[in-house]
Amino acid sequence: MKLTIYGSGYVGLVTGACFAQVGNSVVCVDIDQNKVDRLNKGDIPIFEPELSNLIKKNLTDKRIEFTTDAAYGVRHSDIHFIAVGTPQDENGSADLQHVLDVAATIAKHMTKELLIINKSTVPVGTADKVKSVVQSILDANKKSIKFDVASNPEFLKEGNAIADFSKPDRIIIGAETNSTIETLTALYAPFNRNRDRVIFMSVRSAELTKYAANSLLATKISFMNELANIAERLGADIDEVRNGIGSDPRIGYHFIYPGCGYGGSCFPKDLKALRATAIENDYQARLIETVIEVNERQKQVLFNKMNRFYENDLAGKRIAIWGLSFKPNTDDLREASSIELINALTSAGANVNVYDPVAIENAKLLFKDNSQISFKESAISTCENADALVIVTEWSEFRNPDFEQISKLLKSKVIFDGRNIYSPSDMAKLGYRYFAIGRGETLY
C-alpha cells in the first residue's frame, strides 16, 4: 500500500518505519527542511532503540522517503496519517492547529478518493473537525471527491516503540464505513497474524480510548505514590506492599511502582487535555484533577527530603544526579522529574553534577544558562566530591554499581533513591544513609 504520514516526530517516524518494514511505500511529510535532509541521510533526531536501523534499512530499500513537498505526499497515497503534535494550550486543552492545517493541506491538493486517519492524540470530536475542514475546502474549490476520516490512536511506549507497533497488544480503529474497515484491516494484517488484535469501534470512542488508557495508567502511578507516602509515615515498606497487592490478578504488577512522579510527552499532557474536555462539557473530573495534583506534589518529594536532611541549608552543597530522562531508554526530557529537582536544588544554592546515558545533550541545551550544573560523561565521575547521590531515572546501568568506589568519591555516604532500585537493608550493611520512596529511612 502507499501511505503518507504528516509529521516526522516520534509517532510519525515509528509509524512510517514499521509500515515500510512490512513492504508498504511510505512518504513522510514535514515542514522542517533541515530535519527532512537529516532523515533522508539516515540521521535520526530522536533516540529510540532500533528506530535508526529500521529507517536506514528502508531508505536503502527505497520503501520510505522524507519530503517537505506536501502536494507530492497527497498525490502519492490513498491513505494519509496525521501524526503531528498537539501541544497544550494555556487551559490544558490540546491545540489542534497543526492537525487542522494538515487537513487543509490534504484538501487543497487532493484529486482522488482517499482515507485520512488521525494518529495524533486528539480530543473527542477531532475527526469531525478534520472532516469539516476538508469538506469546506472541497466545496470552496467546487470539487466533489469522496473521502473518509478515521481514528487510529497510537499506544507506543518510549523505549519500546518498535516492539509495541510490530507486536501490539491491541490496534484501536475508529471507523464508520465498511470500505475504511476493509482498508485498515488489510493494512494492519502483517501485525495481526497470531490472533485478532484489531478492535473496531466508533470514531469518538477510539478518540476517547487513548485518553482513557493513559489516564488510568497515570492514576495507578499516583495511587501508589500516595500509598508510598502513607507507608513511610507508618513504618511500612511500600515494596512489600506492592508485591502483596500485585499478586492479585485484578490489580497486577504493571504501573504500581512508586517513584518521584511521572513525566513524558503523554501522561501529563493527556490528563490535562481530558480534564479540559470534561470542563468544556460541564463536568468536573475530580479524580483526574487529583491524579494531576498528586503527581505535581510527588515531583517535589526528593527535594523536600534533601532539604530536611540538610536542615534547609543546601547552599554550597554538591549533589550528584543519576538519570535525567523521564524514563529509561529515551532521551526525552519533557515533564521529567529531574527538571523540577535540578531547578529546585540550584535555586536553593546547590551545585549539581548530572549524568544520563542518552539524554545528556538535550539536558545541555535545556540548562545551557545554568552555571551551577556540571555535565558528566559517566555515572561514577558524577559522584566526585558530591555530598549525596540521587537516583531520578532507573537506567539499568545504575542498578548494580560499585558502591565501594562510590563511597570513596562521595563526601558522605548518602543516597536519595527516587525509583526504589536498591534494598534498604543492603544499603545499611554498606554503611549508607538511604532515603527512598515509601521505604528506607524516613524524612517527612
CB 12 within 8 A of CB 28: yes
Among 263, 285, 259, which Cα is nearest to 392's? 259
Among 22, 64, 20, residue whose Cα is nearest residue 41: 64
Active-site residue, 383 included: no
| Residue among 56, 111, 85, 82 at smallest CA distance from 4 | 82
SS3 content of the chain, % helix, strand, coil (to 5): 45, 15, 40
What DSSP designation does 157 have?
P
Residue in 62, 236, 66, 265 with CA at minimum distance from that of residue 158: 265
Contacts for 94 with CB less than 8 Å, ≥ 6 apart: 86, 87, 88, 121, 122, 123, 269, 273, 276
Catalytic residue among 18, 260, 266, 383, which? 266
In angstroms, how far is the first alpha carbon of the chain from the final one? 58
Extract the C-alpha cell encoding 394. 532507573
Q: Which residues touch 45 (CB under 8 Å, ≥6 apart)?
A: 35, 38, 39
Phi-psi region of 368 (alpha: psi -120 to 50; beta: other; left: phi over 0): alpha
Cell 513504618, residue located = 235
Q: Environment class of residue 270 by beta-carbon count within 10 Å: exposed (0-12), middle (13-18) or buried (19+)? A: buried
| CA-to-CA dists, residue 228 to 120, 298, 407, 432, angstroms | 34, 10, 28, 21
Within 13 Å of residue 184, how many CA atoms lie on the same side as its CB? 30
Residues assigned a catalytic role: 266
